[in-house]
Each structure stands twice: as structure tokens, then as C-alpha cells.
Structure 1
Amino acid sequence: MFQGHGDDGYLYGQTLAADFSTNVWHGGPPKGLKEHLFSQWENVQRYPEVLAESLTEKIALSCNFKAENILVTNGSTESIYLIAQAYQQRKTTLIIPAFAEYEDACKMFGHEISFLDWSALQTGITPGTELLFICNPNNPTGAVYPDLEQLIQKHSNILFVVDEAFIEFTFSVISVIALIEKYTNLIVLRSMTKAYAIPGLRLGYLAANPVLIERLRSFKLPWSVNTMAIAAGHFIFDHAKTIEIPLQQLLADQADFSKKLSASGLIVYPSHTHFFLARTNWQTAAALKQFLLKEFNILIRNADNFRGLTDKHIRIATLSKNKNQLLINALTKWKPI
């Protein structure tokens, strides 16, 4: 899906007053990262490390793993496509609503796909399933599944792919990354672009049993992670304790924002993260998106291309209080004439 994601403001050729379509941390990259990357500029004259080996070692050390447990990738999207390729033509279950790239990647590599609603996960896994993708916390809903270990243990014949791209944005669930040493049927996807606001650099990693990592590595293109992304990864792990997002405040802002949006006429769904789903009461999400762009230079995420949602659903991320108020004010004009 080359189009249909959030953060697509570049398509419209206008200066945005506020962009609610992306669920990247609105506070921007960590202080000092820009200067660090500028200091690394001369390194772009050489090829990057073939498999980002130095960053692999640093991530492994940070997580108390061995380097054999980690594979650094060009963002979570590369991770998803690597898994779909390495385990092609499997019987694969996707927990929905879900990030569209799971389905697109699996279609590309001939998977037999079935879909399971989030609410039916506990008992609804189809017999014969070989591979299962779940995002926890979930994109686009912000829901969390509290006890994935129970499912991973129960279905030992299924390879669980747990996408934790938004794990830094919730207090409601803890990462399952520590379980990779306990279970050989688990791959954990981590993103380094959301919480540190560097999606343009494309950086993430996989954590799993060494046998699984070796299989995925055999399909990986050399030099897929560029020199600047590797340098950013080093900076982030070197300063991890001092560059965490202010999550307590962010979630408090989200609660206040959601309440005010509900009062403005949107139907807002509960979420455990800074982003959440909402639904317009009239016309469509596409119409609302165009209205906000044309009249207020505000961008939202039309969520009608998430399987399981409708043409009235939108996804909204919490921004600063001032920008949140721009959307609240604009929505007072979104009503039948």
C-alpha cells in the first residue's frame, strides 16, 4: 500500500497548521540528535555496515541478549516483509483492525490469510494457523492485550509476530521481548522511529531466538540500514535514560483531548495510547479529511482502509494542547447544513 497511510501531507502541497494523522511523538527528535548526526556527515562517503553490526551489539547489550537475538532493520516495515518472505505461503492469521502492511506483505509472498477480530483473540484462533501477526498496543485502536504469554504458550505450533511499535506509549501492558529466550515461537518487532520522532530515517529491530533470526537474516538485503540511521540508533541507546517521552503528561493530554472531541460531536473510542479511533456522525471520514484540509489546514488519518473499520472512522493522535484545540474548534463547523 504505497498510499493510504498517515502523514501524507506532502500529497497536498500546503502548509499544515496541525498534523493529527501520524502517531509519531509530537515533541520531535531527542535533544542533541541533530548535532550528532551532522557530526557524522563524512561517514556517508563510505558504505554503511552490512548488517548494522555495531548497533546490533549495542541493542543486545541493552536488552541483556546476545547479538544473535537481534536483527536491525530499515524500520518495522522491512521487518514485516522479511518475516512474510522467510515464512512465505504459510497459513497466516492477522488480528484486525491492523496495520495494512501485514496483509500486503503476506499477499506478496503467497500466504493463505485469515482475519480474526481483536475481541475474539482468546478463543478464535483458527486450527491450522502457522503464523500470527498482532500489534500490541494495537494500531489503529490503541487497545492492549494483557496476557500474550498465555497464548504463545498455549499455541506452541504457531509463530507469533508481536509488533511493539507503540510500546513506549502506554502504561497498560509490558513488553514481551524478554520472552524470546523462553519461547522459540515468538518474534518481537520494535520501532525506533515513533517514540524518538525519526520516521524519515527508517530504523527498527527484530528480537527472537537465534534460529529464527538466522532465517530472517538470510533473506535480508545488505546495507538496508543507512549510516545516519545507525548513528541515530547509537545516540538513542547511549542516551536512553534521558530521552524518554513524558508519557504521564501525554496520556493526560489524550484523556482531556478525547473528552473535548466527544463533546464536539465525534464518537471517540477508548485507547491505552496517545492515539485513538473516532467516528464521524455524518458524511464520511474522507469528506471530513478534505473539509479540515481545505478550511483549516488540519490533517487527520482517514481510517477507512483498515480492515474491520468503516468509511466513517478516523485515527487521531494527541498533539500539543494548542494544536489539539485547533481541531476541537474546527469540528464545531463540521455539521449538517
Structure 2
Amino acid sequence: MIFGHGDEGFAASSKGIINFSTTVWSGGDMERLGAHLAENLGCIYHYPEPDAGTLRQMLAKRNGVDKSAILVTNGPTAAIYQIAQSFRGSRSLIAIPSFSEYEDACRMYEHVISFYPTTEDISKADFSHIDFCWLCTPNNPDGRQLQRAELMRLLNDHPETTFILDQSYVSFTTEEVIRPADIKNRKNLVMIHSFSHAYGIPGLRIGYIVANKDFMKRVAAFSTPWSVNALAIEAAKFILIHPAQFTLPIRKWQRNTVDFITALSRIDGVEVHPSGTTFFLLRLKKGTAAELKKYLLEEHKMLIRDASNFRGLDESYVRLTTQSPAENQLFIKALQQFLSQH
């Protein structure tokens, strides 16, 4: 069973739990990956390449960029902190609600922070004194995504602002997106990618940054040698060599999400926020997210994400990730029972 951020405490008692909380896809052929790692377990007795050079080369080839444009990190979160550290004291604009690590990293490294709601048109924001704009697209927790054309306009209209695009969930959409090759001739575009979410290996902590060589040179100066362990590197290489084993059935998952959202929208007592991805926000009109989370876990062995700790949201918000149609129906019945008690 895979748990999302903030749910680690339930891992020990996860047997039989239906997990609507995680945003990690767990449907890949993990048995073959596990067997491969077991066969290559000897790699842990040797230091990995200091900069994950072989993996960098593979990622560069896959993404159509030069090797100097890739920096492998100990997960996407490490990438966020390393970028913030490399530009200590900068002025950052963060779209909210979103992943709290953007704000946490910027505060740690003394950025001057301002916020902008994801519900508003970000092209209307004042970028005149902004060094960095942090955007998650598709966005966690609400599933909102900026179209490629919108992002291109932002990049063109604000050349003095560097846009940090967290694309950890890029595999969870069928929309046209910004691609790594788009960094060519663009000094204000930086992308963060993750192996965790699309390939179901959050415990191995591996991600990478894509950016122009000048930006990357500055960020790489804050890298720690051997920061990515050998087993994580081996897993990423296996995934790149065997992509067919990890093909995410996104269109089927999206169809199930539309059906799930439609059914939830018919329930009195909740408001569902539409999403083009496989996760979305639900607002309770009765009770709190904490109460619902406790009730579902104890009475129905279901886990949800209490989204109240996302800046911009309150105690009424829950994030859900679509599961199988049968599991979704069980959730709907459990939710109706909860609401009937309030």
C-alpha cells in the first residue's frame, strides 16, 4: 500500500485499506522492477556515480536536451530546496493552494514570498519584481493545469522572471504540456520531474531538474556528491529501458475520474471541484475533513487526504484520488453515511 505526504503514520496498519489519499500510481509491473533490483543488489556495496552521470545521459537522450541541462536529485523535493538555496534571498511568487514545500524551501533560504490563487488568471499577476514563479502543473491538490499556450505566453511576456514548473504529475494529464526541449533558447524556464508518482517508487527518492546550462551550473554548485543512492539510480535506468512496463492507463483513469466526480456531485452536502487529472478537491458542507478522515479509516478502512493544511484551503477540504469503479462506489456510500450523521 502506498501513502501520500502526511499519511506515513498509517503505513503500519495498511492491510485492507482503500487508499484515496495517495497521488502515486501503483499499477505498474513492480514485480519485474523488484526482481531486477534484487539481482543487482550488489550495487549498494559500491559508491554510485557522484553525479549519476550515466542516468543523466539517458535522461538527456530521452528528453532531447544536452546532458548539461539535466541534474539528477534525491527526489523532486530535494530539487525544490536546492533551487531555493542556490538563489537565497530572491523574490518568489507561489501559486496556491499547492505543494507546501515551495513555501517551506523559500522561507528556509530567506526568499521574499508572495502568493497568487490558482483560481485566478496568473497572467494578470504583477511580475515586475518577481525573480521566481513556482507553479505545479498539473497542480497538487486541485488538479488544475495551465495549458501549454498559456505557459508559453507567460515565458514570453516575463523574460526577467524564471518560471519553476513542477511537472511531477505531467503523466496524469492528456493535455499538451511544456516539454524539456522547450528550454532551448529560453533562460527563464526550469522544470522539475519525478520518478515517484508516475512509476510508483516514492520510497527510492529520485527526480531531476531540466534547465539551461547557466542556471544549472549555479544550482549544481550546491549539489552534494553521491546524493542519489545506487539503488534509486538503478531503478530509474530500468524504467527508462523498459517504459512499456510502466505505461500509465491515463485515459481510462481519467474516464473513471469523470464518473466519480459526476456521482459525487449529486450528493447533497458536498461541493466537488472539477479536475482534468486523476485527483481533485472535495469540499464538505457538513463536518470537517479531519472528522471524515477519522470516520472513514475507523469504520470503512479508507484513507483520504485532509487538505486543510494547504495554504488557501480550510478544514472543509479533502483531496481524493480515483480508485477502481467498485472502490469509488464504496466511498460514495461511506460518504453518504457520514453526511447523514451530521
TM-score w.r.t. structure 2 length? 0.93
Measured at CA, do residues 281 and 219 of structure 1 come closer, stay the same or move farther in structure 2, by a change above 3 Å? same
Matched letter for residue 135 of structure 2: I
Please name the residue that 1:37 is paired with: 37
The answer to whether the 8 A contact 2:88-2:110 is kept is yes
Please name the residue that 1:213 is paired with: 216
Measured at CA, do residues 123 and 137 of structure 1 come closer, stay the same or move farther in structure 2, by a change above 3 Å? same
The answer to whether the 8 A contact 1:55-1:233 is kept is yes
The answer to whether the 8 A contact 2:20-2:321 is kept is yes
Q: What is the CA distance between 1:174 and its match in structure 2?
A: 1.4
Instruction: Measure, in 1, the Cα distance between the counterparts of 2:276 and 2:35.
Output: 34
**What are the residue-to-residue correspondences of 1:243-322 with 2, within 5 Å?**
243-265=246-268, 266-322=270-326
The answer to whether the 8 A contact 2:195-2:206 is kept is yes
Please name the residue that 2:338 is paired with: 334
Q: What is the CA distance between 1:69 and its match in structure 2?
A: 0.5
2:77 equivalent to 1:77:
yes
Greater Cα shift, 259-268 or 9-18: 9-18
Q: Determine helix, strand or coil for the equivalent of 1:335.
A: helix
RMSD: 1.7
User: What are structure 2's unaligned runs of at least 5 residues?
Assistant: none
Please name the residue that 2:128 is paired with: 127
What is the identity percentage for the equivalent residue pairs of Structure 1 and Structure 2?
A: 38
**What are the residue-to-residue correspondences of 1:147-296 with 2, within 5 Å?**
147-265=150-268, 266-296=270-300
Instruction: Measure, in 2, the Cα distance between the counterparts of 1:332 and 1:301.
Output: 18
The answer to whether the 8 A contact 1:26-1:320 is kept is no
Instruction: Measure, in 2, the Cα distance between the counterparts of 1:28 and 1:61.
Output: 23
Matched letter for residue 199 of structure 1: P
User: What are structure 1's unaligned runs of at least 5 residues?
Assistant: none
The answer to whether the 8 A contact 1:9-1:299 is kept is no
The answer to whether the 8 A contact 1:85-1:109 is kept is yes
Count of residues in Structure 1 that have an aligned counterpart in Structure 2: 334
Instruction: Measure, in 2, the Cα distance between the counterparts of 1:94 and 1:244.
Output: 31
Instruction: Measure, in 1, the Cα distance between the counterparts of 2:9 and 2:130.
Output: 38
The answer to whether the 8 A contact 1:93-1:133 is kept is yes
Instruction: Measure, in 1, the Cα distance between the counterparts of 2:6 and 2:271.
Output: 20
Instruction: Measure, in 2, the Cα distance between the counterparts of 1:226 and 1:100.
Output: 25
Instruction: Measure, in 1, the Cα distance between the counterparts of 2:286 and 2:14.
Output: 26
The answer to whether the 8 A contact 1:7-1:19 is kept is no
Instruction: Measure, in 2, the Cα distance between the counterparts of 1:29 and 1:104.
Output: 34
The answer to whether the 8 A contact 1:137-1:166 is kept is yes
Q: Determine helix, strand or coil for the equivalent of 2:124.
A: coil
The answer to whether the 8 A contact 1:282-1:336 is kept is no
Instruction: Measure, in 2, the Cα distance between the counterparts of 1:6 and 1:255.
Output: 26
Instruction: Measure, in 2, the Cα distance between the counterparts of 1:143 and 1:200.
Output: 26
Deviation by residue 1:201-238 (Cα, 9 ceiling, x = unmatched): 11111000011111111101121111111011111111
The answer to whether the 8 A contact 2:29-2:246 is kept is no
Matched letter for residue 171 of structure 1: T
Please name the residue that 1:25 is paired with: 25
Q: What is the CA distance between 1:7 and its match in structure 2?
A: 3.8
Greater Cα shift, 8-17 or 297-306: 8-17
The answer to whether the 8 A contact 2:28-2:248 is kept is no
Deviation by residue 1:274-322 (Cα, 9 ceiling, x = unmatched): 0011111211111111111111111100001111112101100011223
Instruction: Measure, in 1, the Cα distance between the counterparts of 2:271 and 2:29.
Output: 32
Instruction: Measure, in 1, the Cα distance between the counterparts of 2:202 and 2:139.
Output: 18
Q: Determine helix, strand or coil for the equivalent of 1:329.
A: helix
4+ residue stretches of structure 1 with deviation over 6 A? Answer: none
